[in-house]
Each structure stands twice: as structure tokens, then as C-alpha cells.
A = this chain, B = another copy of it.
Amino acid sequence: MASKSPKPSISTAACGGGTTTTTMDVEKVFHMNGGTGQTSYSKNSSLQKKASDKVKHVTLESIERVFVTTVPRSMGIADLGCSSGPNTLSSVKDMVERVGRTSRTLGLPEPEFRVYLNDLPTNDFNSIFQALPEFQAELKRERGGGGEGGGGEGGPWIYIAGCPGTFYGRLFPENWLHFIYSSNSLHWLSKVPPGLYDAEGRSKNKGSVYITEGSPPEVAQAYAHQFNLDFSLFLGLRSKELIMGGKMVLIFLGRETSIHIDRGNSFLWDLLTKAFSTLISKGEVEEEKVDAYDVHFYAPSMEEVEEAVESEGSFEMEMLQMFGADNKGGEDSYKNDDGEMMMMMRSYGRRVAMGVRAVQESMLTHHFGGGILDSLFEEYGRLLDLELGIQHITPITFVLVLRKL
């Protein structure tokens, strides 16, 4: 269980990037792979999409409920950790359309929408923005013409802005938002836990990149502590930005039990550690370099989440559910530049490996240089294929719905 700690003071980081030195590295370096190439997040995020799709009804019922109970003239919606790719705008579309339909069904005035897309400043916002004209046109077509109305008199009904900055800092003015959505982001910590290193800066987690069976107990404690700090901070910040009665739907990776080692999320890191071992034995990377590398990730247990929400105190927990989402048998397709659907011929293990590469490449390149990536993920994919032949891995995802008190 996470150790209790004094509530941290609000970070000075704002929309536009944080300024605390401790979070500097992650904030300046970490991003999903940009663009639309073969190693891009855009083409390797079908697992993430599957997870958010599985609880789409929860997201849509929650935003609908906020709309019906507050009937705002102008509705503020934020997607925190929006990344760039097909998932980014499709979730905006679903939310906006649901509220629009509900308003028409119930005879309520349709609000004007203010949509804020947030991610770290190194995220590929250009790709999202370039897709906006087509996205707006599509929204308008499906709405049946009349891009105007809603909120302002004759104004457009949707405004979309990009809001770069860490969500472990304030992003919006007070009482600015009605609904916050965050998918596949909150398992990323603000930094690698400082507790992983001794006073001389030497890793206590040698030979591993996350909590593994070989890790000493302080490692799991350091991760749990960092999660508690970060998640409590996140809740406190968002409680300022949300109106009373506003809601958050948070989708992130978690653990099935209080045990840290499972066949869900920790196992994927365990295999990455093993892939590193192969590279070390081949002399392709130095052992010390690997010892010094740890991911800024944590999959909490339900109890850890509940405890943080309760002790922070600004939110009522309306739902906390766990579900398994994997990409097995799922489509592995993407649109090519001509808009045709293409299939990628890759084994399941390779596909998972590419998914992990798309989210980890920025941090790995920063630490190791880019030279080892192909070799590392080739080996990782091979190990995944082997393991998946023996037993299935199902990453566990949580969906958490919170209402601002």
C-alpha cells in the first residue's frame, strides 16, 4: 500500500509547460512517437483504442449526465494526455455528438463546446491540428449541415485548442471545465521515483527497468509512493479546474491484486528487461546503462486508487472498475496516405512490441541513444511471441469516474 505523505504544494507548471526542475526530464523528453510512420503511436495504438472503446459507454453516460444536470451554455471539455493519432479526435467526436443528441432528445439548448487537447509540449500537436479542418467538416456533415448555433448567436458550436503542458501542473483557470477525459495517461508518473536511487545516485533496481521479482522491496515502495504523490496532486489540481458537479473519466493501467508482479502490466516490462539482457550479453549495450534506466510508470491497485481519492477529498467516486483489454485477434490496420485501409502483417508479439516502442522510444533514445532501438524491439517482439505461445497476457485497465463535490 502506498505510504501516506503530506499533500504536495501545487506545481508552478501551467499550460505551456512546467518549470519545476524535478519533473523537467520527463516533461521535456517524453512523448508518444509522432507522425504517421511505421513506428508512430498513430499506427501502434490500437490496444489503447480497444481499452477506451470498451468503456466508451461509461465515458458517454458520464458526460451526458454532466450536461443534463448543469445545462451549460458553454461546455468545457479537456482530454488530458491526448497524444496524436486516430484516437485523439475520435473520442472528441463521440462526446460532442452524444451531448448534441441528448440536447435534441430532451429539448435542451445545445451548448457551445470548448475542447482542450492537452499533452506534454513534445507531443506531435501538428499532426492533430492538420487533421482539424477535415474533422470539423465531417462533424458538420454528420450533424446535418448548420455548423452554427449552439451557445453563441450564429457563432460556431465548437472551439478546439491545444494546451501543451504537464497535467501534474495547473492547466486551466478555476471553474473552467465541465468534463475531463484522460485515457491511457495516468499510469505515467511525473518522474522516475527518486527513491529508486541511493544517496550516491546508484540504482537500487539493478538489472530491471520496473518492479520485477528480483527487485528489493524499496523499489515497489518507491513506485507506490510516487504514484500516491502524483495522483493526489493531479486530483487537487483538477478539483480547481472543474466546476462543482463536473466529472472526470480516467482510464489507466492497473493491477488485479495488491501483488506487484502479474501477467498483466509488469510482465511486459519484465520481458523488456530480458530483451536488454540479451543486448548486454551481445555487447550492444552496457550493463551500467541498463541498471540506471527505470520507467516512470506505475500500475496501481484498486485500493491505492481508492485511498488517494478518499484522502484528497474533493471528489466522490462514482465508479472504479477493472477490465482486461488485449489486442489478440484485433485488427492491425491503418489508413495509408490515400485513405485506403491497409493490414500490417505482423505476429501478435511484434505488434505488442511496436506498441511499447511507440510509447517508450522517446525515453529510451534519450537515455541510450537511438542505435539500439531496432535490435532491442526485435528481441522484445521475439520474447513476446515465445511467451504468448505459452500463456496469454492481458493488460488490466481501470476506469474511474469521479464527480467534483
A6 to chain B, nearest CB (A): 16
Name the one of B15, B132, B152 contacting A161, with C-beta atoms under 8 angstroms. B15
Which residues 100-158 of A sit at the B interface, judged by CB distance below 8 A? 112, 114-116, 121-126, 129-130, 132-137, 140, 147-148, 151-158
Which residues of chain B are within 8 angstroms of A12 by Cβ–Cβ distance? 140, 147-148, 156
A276 to chain B, nearest CB (A): 29
The chain B residue with its CB closest to the CB of A240 is B155
Knowing A16-B136, A19-B137, A173-B151, say if A161 contacts B159 (CB, 8 Å): no
**What is the copy number of this chain in the assembly?**
2
A81 to chain B, nearest CB (A): 15
Bound Cα distance A134, B164 (Å): 13
A36 to chain B, nearest CB (A): 14
Q: Are A18 and B161 in contact (CB under 8 A)?
A: no
> A12, A157, A170, A172: which has the most chain B beta carbons within 10 Å?
A12
Bound Cα distance A173, B124 (Å): 26
Name the one of B15, B133, B159, B165 contacting A19, with C-beta atoms under 8 angstroms. B133
Which residues 165-197 of A sit at the B interface, judged by CB distance below 8 A? 165, 169-174
A394 within 8 A of B: no
Q: Are A147 and B19 in contact (CB under 8 A)?
A: yes
Q: Are B170 and A133 in contact (CB under 8 A)?
A: no
> A28, A115, A133: which has the most chain B beta carbons within 10 Å?
A133
Mark A86-112 against chain B: 1 for CB-CB distance below 8 A, else 0: 000000000000000000000000001
A17 within 8 A of B: yes
Q: Are B74 and A136 in contact (CB under 8 A)?
A: no
Name the one of B27, B153, B160 contacting A16, with C-beta atoms under 8 angstroms. B160
Bound Cα distance A137, B156 (Å): 35
Enumerate the 4 nearest inter-chain pairs by beta-carbon distance, A residue then B residue, closest first. A17-B133, A14-B156, A16-B160, A12-B147
Can you sample 17 A-B contacts with CB below 8 Å?
A12-B148, A12-B156, A13-B156, A14-B155, A14-B159, A16-B158, A16-B161, A17-B129, A18-B136, A34-B126, A121-B130, A125-B126, A125-B129, A153-B174, A155-B170, A161-B162, A161-B163
Chain A positions near chain B (C-beta within 8 angstroms)? 10, 12-19, 24, 27-28, 34, 74, 112, 114-116, 121-126, 129-130, 132-137, 140, 147-148, 151-165, 169-174, 240
